[in-house]
Structure 1
Amino acid sequence: MNEEELREGLRSEMAGRTPPPPLSTTAALGAARRTQFRRRAVWASLGSAAVVLAVTGFAAVTTPDGLVYEPAGQGPLAPNASGDTKEPWPTGPDGQPQEDRTARAGSKHDQGVHLLSEAVSVIPSGYSAPEDPSSLPAEERTLRTHQAQFEEKVNGIDVWSYSSSVAVAQGKGTGRVIVEVHEAGNPMPTEPCDLAQKFWGMRGECRVETVGAVQVGVVVRPGSDDRLDQWSAYRHPDGVVVFVAQGVRLDESRPALTKLPFSVPQLAALAVDERFHLK
């Protein structure tokens, strides 16, 4: 066979074969979509398997493409509404975890109400304690407020604080008196002035006042943070901490008092008053 006959034979062979179909864009997209769909199905089954694992506690599952999903263990509890803890809030009177730190019903809430009542009762003669309109929602009130708040868990025990704020008026001026109580188990210091400096993170000129047989720390002049003018602090032998504070101004919309309601010795005595010794 010469060279010319070889070329002719190859042409005949190629002519006898069926050519491949032309590339179709539609077909190519369809194939890609089918591949994507299969991948989504794999991950959907993985997600379903993860849910089953969370509910049933199974150790592992194999996905359709051979991957093995194996949880490392029970994950942290979901954070609450404020996002600042991995544990659920304390249980409310309805048997469900609270939505945040504040108790809005139940025995803890009632302690806050009680503290407000006691704070109103110590306002001295010559001053009044105005009230907000009864129709005003609790969250909008400013003249008399109270709160019961979960602080932390110490050695497995919930530690709470209770606070109350009372507007104090005389003439055209309005100031305020605040009482804050922390349950036993709190990690606050015992030394009187160290304790006083823990109130709201404020600092100032502190001196120790003697009330009966005990000593009370009193900040008589605030530092750069002047939200309040004076406050006293006492830690009871059982660990309950009481702060009593006073300020000549309630807010910027009202004129200030011309003088504080309590003298320094009176403010110190209020910190040890059994009316604020919540148990």
Structure 2
Amino acid sequence: MNEEELREGLRSEMASTIPPPPLSTQATLGAARRAHFRRRTLGAVLGSAAVVLAVTGFAAVATPGGLVYQAGSGPLATPDSSGDSKQPWPTGPDGRPQEDRTARAGSKYDQGLRLLNEVVSVVPAGYTMPEDPPNQPAEQRTLRTHQAQFEDRVNGVDMWSYLSSVAVAQGESAGRVIVEVHDAGNQLPTDPCALARSFWGMEGDCKVETVGAAQVGVVARPGNDDRLDQWSAYRHPDGVVVFVAQGAKLDVNRPALKQLPFSVQQLAALAVDKRFHLK
């Protein structure tokens, strides 16, 4: 076989290959929420055995048990050299597309900061809320963190989520309270327990709690995923989704809380709380 015949054979083989189906952005995002945020705030829980891998501009965290959490959709981009038109990142306050999913200034960033302040306001008496050093860079903070993230574009409308995490302590013991809010128009499940089980791709035993006229899904016993201990989920009538979570363990350097800050019913009520109903 000469060189020309070899090239022709390779072209024929490539032409006959069926390309793989496109990735489902929503399914991938639903399977794992905010790998970057989890790396900052919960990565310490995994200890020295955790492995952080760079994947398409995001991160995958492999736990000692072999579970992998990954933000799977690659970065959106401007039209490339081949002429393929791809959606750009949302425009920041400087009039230019963002560098990645995270807003670092502007109204979306402010919403994330507002959510952090609201989370701090609901921590019950008897718990202290340690803070990061005042000069700590934002990407290194782990005790009080907030993030506004572009999730998807649905019918031409940008969908955002906002996540805040606050460390709570009693003496030397420390845990965490987390609230995540998704814009109306999101593609998350509508059933209360299906919604609760979609949080960060975690599973667990769920039951529906009634708060006034609201039906709230609450996972009080997680499955094999031990990142958090309990969480609640509620979809407001306008479509805004709120998750409220608590964990007894902050990191490997401090003992876990002996008692979680909220009861199951309180956790359900917080998911309905108007303070977290961001618009």
Task: Return the TM-score normalized by structure 2.
Answer: 0.70
Number of the residue aligned with 1:208: 208
Q: Which runs of 4+ in 1 moved over 4 A?
A: 80-83
Q: How does 1:187-198 map to 2 (within 5 A)?
A: 187-198=187-198
Tell whether 2:121 aligns with 1:121.
Answer: yes
Task: Kindly provide the amino acid, as one letter, of the partner of residue 211 in structure 2.
Answer: V
Structure whose CA Rg is larger: 1
Whole-angstrom CA distance in 2 between matches of 1:107 and 1:178: 21
Conservation of the 8 A alpha-carbon contact between 1:233 and 1:268: yes
Conservation of the 8 A alpha-carbon contact between 1:81 and 1:99: no
Indicate the SS of the match to 1:195. helix
Indicate the SS of the match to 1:101. coil
* Residue deviations 1:109-128 (CA, integer Å, cap 9, x gap): 00000000000000001001
Number of the residue aligned with 1:183: 183
Task: Kindly provide the amino acid, as one letter, of the partner of residue 262 in structure 2.
Answer: F
Tell whether 2:79 aligns with 1:88.
Answer: no
Q: How does 1:232-251 map to 2 (within 5 A)?
A: 232-251=232-251
More contact order relative to length (CA 8 Å, sep ≥ 6)? 2
Conservation of the 8 A alpha-carbon contact between 1:250 and 1:256: yes
Task: Kindly provide the amino acid, as one letter, of the partner of residue 95 in structure 1.
Answer: G
Conservation of the 8 A alpha-carbon contact between 1:93 and 1:105: yes
Q: How does 1:117-266 map to 2 (within 5 A)?
A: 117-266=117-266
Whole-angstrom CA distance in 1 between matches of 2:107 and 2:250: 29
Whole-angstrom CA distance in 2 between matches of 1:223 and 1:146: 26
The number of equivalent residue pairs is 200
Q: How does 1:46-61 map to 2 (within 5 A)?
A: none
Whole-angstrom CA distance in 2 between matches of 1:129 and 1:216: 27
Identity of paired residues, percent?
75
Conservation of the 8 A alpha-carbon contact between 2:75 and 2:100: no
Residues 159 and 130 of structure 1: CA distance in aligned 2, closer, same or farther (over 3 Å):
same
Give, in angstroms, the shift of residue 190 of structure 1: 1.3
Give, in angstroms, the shift of residue 81 of structure 1: 6.0
Conservation of the 8 A alpha-carbon contact between 1:234 and 1:241: yes
Give, in angstroms, the shift of residue 226 of structure 1: 1.1
Give, in angstroms, the shift of residue 87 of structure 1: 1.7
Task: Kindly provide the amino acid, as one letter, of the partner of residue 152 in structure 2.
Answer: E
Whole-angstrom CA distance in 1 between matches of 2:251 and 2:259: 16
Give, in angstroms, the shift of residue 84 of structure 1: 3.0
Whole-angstrom CA distance in 2 between matches of 1:213 and 1:91: 38
Indicate the SS of the match to 1:145. strand
Number of the residue aligned with 1:273: 273
Whole-angstrom CA distance in 2 between matches of 1:128 and 1:273: 22
Whole-angstrom CA distance in 1 between matches of 2:75 and 2:250: 30
Whole-angstrom CA distance in 1 between matches of 2:254 and 2:187: 37
Task: Return the TM-score normalized by structure 1.
Answer: 0.70
Task: Kindly provide the amino acid, as one letter, of the partner of residue 104 in structure 2.
Answer: R
Task: Kindly provide the amino acid, as one letter, of the partner of residue 271 in structure 2.
Answer: A
Give the RMSD, CA atoms, in angstroms. 1.1
Unaligned runs of 5+ in 2: 1-55, 59-73, 77-85
Whole-angstrom CA distance in 2 between matches of 1:135 and 1:81: 26
Whole-angstrom CA distance in 2 between matches of 1:242 and 1:175: 20
Number of the residue aligned with 1:41: none
